[in-house]
């Protein structure tokens, strides 16, 4: 079992998905070439989950503008995703793919499946266009996440990927100053 995922390549996968009223199949190959946000959550028709998916839906165009796709992932089937979208106004506004992982293949690879409950912990994995993990966070079931922070982290990962000689300080946003590591800075920041 991998304990540190940074620079690990995601597994080859093929799962069913629900998106914009339609079912499809999404594979690893389909996700390459742009940044991917793998957004694991415990379950459809629950309490914190719709607030998070709705927050991501509200910021979806911001992610698309920076060449990223969001993939929400739960252990529910694509049929349950569809029913949830039809039953709930918050989920009806979701336009990104909702991946179905009822066998837990993705959740097990990313080591976020709580085997006892059969649910995924709240996790975000930011994957580069080559399929390598550049950032991840894992929260317990009751701790919701923030789409703006995920976007900020994605943009920092993109900046570092493009400008490997510079790094992003805390709370960095695009257009702000970065740091070029050097011996002259040691002990001065």
- The answer as to whether 170 is a domain residue is no
Query: What confidence tens digit (pLDDT) does each residue in 167-184 have?
Result: 888 999 999 988 888 877
Q: Which two tokens stand for residue 83?
A: 């029913």
- The answer as to whether 113 is a domain residue is yes
Categorize the per-residue pLDDT at 188 as very low, low, confident or very high, splitting at 50, 70 and 90: low
Q: Which of 73, 59, 61, 76 lies closest to 138, judged by CA?
A: 73
Write the DSSP symbol of residue 151. Answer: H
Q: Looking at 49, 85, 119, 168, which residue is catalytic?
A: 49
Query: What confidence tens digit (pLDDT) does each residue in 113-155 have?
Result: 999 999 999 999 999 999 999 999 999 999 999 999 999 999 9
- The answer as to whether 117 is a domain residue is yes
Task: Quote the domain boundaries for residue 25.
Answer: 14-146
Please state the rounded mean pLDDT for residues 85-93. 97
Say if residue 1's pLDDT is above 60.
Answer: no
Q: Is-catalytic flag, 168? A: no
pTM reported for the whole predicted model: 0.94
CB contact at 8 A, 37 and 49: no
Q: How many CB atoms lie within 10 A of CB 47?
A: 11
Domain count, the chain: 1
- Report CA torsion sign: 71, 77, 78, 84: negative
Of 4-13, 15-24, 67-76, 180-189, the one with minimum mean pLDDT is 180-189
- The answer as to whether 116 is a domain residue is yes
Say if residue 2's pLDDT is above 70.
Answer: no
Say if residue 9's pLDDT is above 90.
Answer: yes
Residue 31's H or E segment, with its range, is: helix 28-31
Q: How many CB atoms lie within 10 A of CB 174?
A: 12
Say if residue 161's pLDDT is above 70.
Answer: yes
- The answer as to whether 174 is a domain residue is no
Average pLDDT, the chain: 95
Q: What CATH number should be reported for the domain holding residue 41? A: 3.40.30.10
Tell me what pLDDT residue 184 has: 76
CB contact at 8 A, 44 and 101: no
- The answer as to whether 156 is a domain residue is no
- The answer as to whether 56 is a domain residue is yes
Q: How far apart are CA 189 and CA 42, in angstroms?
A: 40
Q: How far apart are CA 126 and CA 132, in angstroms?
A: 8
- The answer as to whether 9 is a domain residue is no
């Amino acid at each position: 079992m991998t304990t540190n995922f940074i620079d690990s390549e995601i597994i080859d996968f093929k799962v069913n998905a629900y998106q914009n009223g339609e079912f499809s199949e999404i594979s690893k190959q389909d996700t390459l070439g742009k940044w991917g946000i793998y957004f694991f959550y415990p379950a459809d028709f629950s309490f914190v989950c719709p607030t998070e998916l709705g927050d991501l839906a509200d910021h979806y165009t911001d992610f698309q503008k920076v060449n990223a796709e969001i993939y929400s992932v739960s252990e529910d089937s694509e049929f349950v995703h569809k029913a949830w979208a039809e039953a709930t106004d918050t989920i009806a506004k979701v336009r990104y793919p909702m991946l179905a992982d009822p066998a837990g293949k993705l959740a097990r690879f990313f080591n976020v499946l709580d085997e006892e409950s059969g649910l995924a912990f709240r996790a975000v994995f930011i994957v580069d266009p080559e399929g390598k993990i550049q950032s991840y966070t894992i929260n317990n079931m009751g701790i919701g996440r923030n789409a703006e922070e995920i976007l900020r982290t994605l943009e920092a990962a993109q900046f570092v990927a493009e400008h490997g000689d510079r790094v992003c300080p805390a709370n960095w946003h695009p257009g702000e100053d970065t740091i070029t590591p050097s011996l002259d800075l040691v002990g001065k920041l």
